[in-house]
Amino acid sequence: MNSAESARWLIVNADDFGQSHAVNRGVITAHERGIVTSASLMVRWPSSSEAAAYAREHPELSLGLHVDFGEWAYRDEAWTPIYVIEALDPAAEVAHQLDLFRGLVGADPTHLDSHQHVHRDEPLRSILCDTARTLGIRLRGTDPRIRYDGSFYGQSGRGYPVPEAIRVDSLVRLIQSLPVGITELGCHPGAPGDDLNTMYRDERVQEVRALCDPRVRATIEIAGVRLRSFYGSISIA
């Protein structure tokens, strides 16, 4: 096996860019001082223009579209909406968010994903697959050449706290155990003082600490893992 065939590449993608000023500050800090190489933009929020302006000035940060149809929290043993974007025509809403992205960024997204992974189910899965195919970009979880890892997350599938998942030692172990090929690691950085009504807030600050910890960067270098973004070919040759 040659070096290309045995290479391990890591895309560290920050979701929710643009959702609030505090989220923006966390993403920027994790990019400038940590290992974040990419981000996904939520275009319906007031802070999206701030996030897009930063991305335009920092072209090394690949920027995708984080399609947003709402957010749900698990409370009292049931999923309840925090907010919902009502759309009689989901395809038209996706097209609208893509148009907003283009207007903010001045370019097409480098990749597609969605808030709380709503694109895993129909009809959004087919709609976003078609959108990604038309744009010639990758939709999270649908390209076998890029493995998605969502384990760096401070809550369980039902929103219960899992603080140990976003500690430095957990991130170090995750990097050490990366398989050969390209892995996208999802993350959700944010800064203190956010008044955003969301199911995931305090954990964002802890994520930033881990993503910026020098032990993480040292592990990447020792393990021979190569950081990259979504720009360019995804071939590891």
Predicted confidence (pLDDT) per residue in 198-233, tens digit? 989 999 999 999 999 999 999 999 999 999 999 854
Structural domains of the chain sorted by starting position, each given as residue range(s) with its CATH number in brackets = 8-227 (3.20.20.370)
Cα gap 133→78, rounded to integer Å: 35
Own/partner contacts of 196-201, CB < 8 Å, gap of 24 or more, are 196/19, 196/20, 196/22, 196/23, 197/82, 197/83, 198/19, 198/71, 198/82, 199/71, 199/72, 199/73, 199/74, 199/82, 199/155, 199/159, 200/154, 200/155
Interval 143-178: pLDDT, tens: 999 999 999 999 998 888 999 999 999 999 999 999
End-to-end CA distance of the chain: 12
- The pLDDT score that the predictor gives to residue 158 is 84
This prediction has a pTM of 0.94
At 148, which amino acid appears?
Y
- The pLDDT score that the predictor gives to residue 77 is 80
Structure tokens given for 209: 């600490």
Q: Which residue's entry shows tokens 């009809």?
A: 123
Cα gap 190→209, rounded to integer Å: 10
Interval 4-19: pLDDT, tens: 568 999 999 999 999 9
Closest to 30 (Cα-Cα) out of 146, 197, 204, 184:
204
**Would you put residue 76 in left (φ > 0), alpha (ψ -120 to 50) or beta?**
left
* HSE (side-chain half, CA atoms, 13 Å) at 107: 15
Closest to 175 (Cα-Cα) out of 230, 203, 231, 213:
213
Structure tokens given for 131: 């959108």
